[in-house]
Amino acid sequence: MDTPVSPWKDRAGPQDRPVPDAGSEDFLHHRELLFSIVYNMLGTVADTEDVVQETWLSWASVRDKEIANPRAYLVRIAVNHALSQMRRARRSRESYIGPWLPEPVLTEPDTPDTAIRTESVSLAMLVVLETLTPLQRAVFVLREAFAYDHAEIAAILGRSPAAVRQLAHRAKERVEARRPRYDLDRSTQRIVTERFLDAAIGGDLDALMDVLAPEVAMWSDGGGKRRAALRVIEGRDKVARLVAAVSARLPTFDARPVQINGGPGVVLFLGGTLYAAAVFDPAPDGERVRGIYGLINPDKLARLAESVHPPAARLAP
């Protein structure tokens, strides 16, 4: 039996896609939802695409049957494939060099990642979700990001509603202990990000100390492929001195502000090549930065590099 051809695999252009039948149209109609749920569970685009492809193959094997609720069926398949992938990924990350960060995605208007824009989870939140068990994370994502009720999640996971309620309670407690909820508008987030960038580009230690929260933490994900700190750097003094030292050491670079995972960030180019992406997590007061997430692992920047180009203006530290 021939393997069913995915109607969306490898982001083929419309001219390359087969004409979808009714079953394919059901899948395509829900593809963005599936992609967004799975990405929020896994934090990597390549693994997400693999899971969505596995979901398509599972769907293709039953699409000729009468499925009363294709959306519920597809979500259940995708979530369970994602749970299996999450467990495999966590075992492989035991040998990862340095801090592991989720893969950043561009969420500006008119970019390909419309699925992720629909239900953007910040990079800072994705880092917190890494502390949950796979089942807790699945329940939290479905409940908090996609507003599924406990009975619906129970059906997806094959658990009782009581068990799901307990998982949801524990997940929410763990998340709020590490990241209490607060709301800052986009304008405030952008202003504090710009203040940090101005201080960092100038290598101004006093200005950096002023814009960093006392409890600030800095992640640098190089994956052993580029030079990066091998542990999370914590505390305003240590982070400020490290940022100032890196700024002084870097050659002239191009910087471009972008929106990453629904929040303000920046991409840095060296010699016209995308070298790094950074996301800044403002403190609840909106005045300081409490989290810096720097990605320099080239494997995690490949997707951004396809969509972001260097700005015309050059910035020098």
Query: Per-residue pLDDT tens for 100-140?
Result: 999 998 887 666 555 455 456 889 999 999 999 999 999 99
In this predicted structure, what is the pLDDT of residue 174? 95
Query: CA Rg, the chain, in Å?
Result: 21
Return d(Cα 127, Cα 118) in angstroms, integer. 19
The sign one gets for the Cα dihedral 152, 153, 157, 163 is negative
What's the rounded Cα separation, in Å, for the pair 159 and 163? Answer: 6
Specify which residues 255 forms β-bridges with.
268
Q: Are 269 and 310 in contact (CB under 8 A)?
A: yes
So what's the pLDDT on residue 257?
87
Sign of CA dihedral 269, 89, 229, 189: positive
Q: Residue 278: its pLDDT value, please?
A: 94
Q: What's the CA angle centered on 79, arms 77 and 84, to 5 degrees?
A: 95
pLDDT given at position 23? 66
pLDDT value of position 101 = 96
Residue at 295: amino acid letter: L
DSSP H stretches of helix in the chain: 22-42, 45-60, 70-92, 114-118, 123-129, 134-140, 150-157, 161-178, 186-202, 205-211, 236-249, 298-307
Report residues of the chain scoring pLDDT below 50: 1, 10-20, 115, 118, 313-317
Per DSSP, helices labelled H in 43-105 are 45-60, 70-92
Strand 263-270 with 233-234, pairing: unpaired
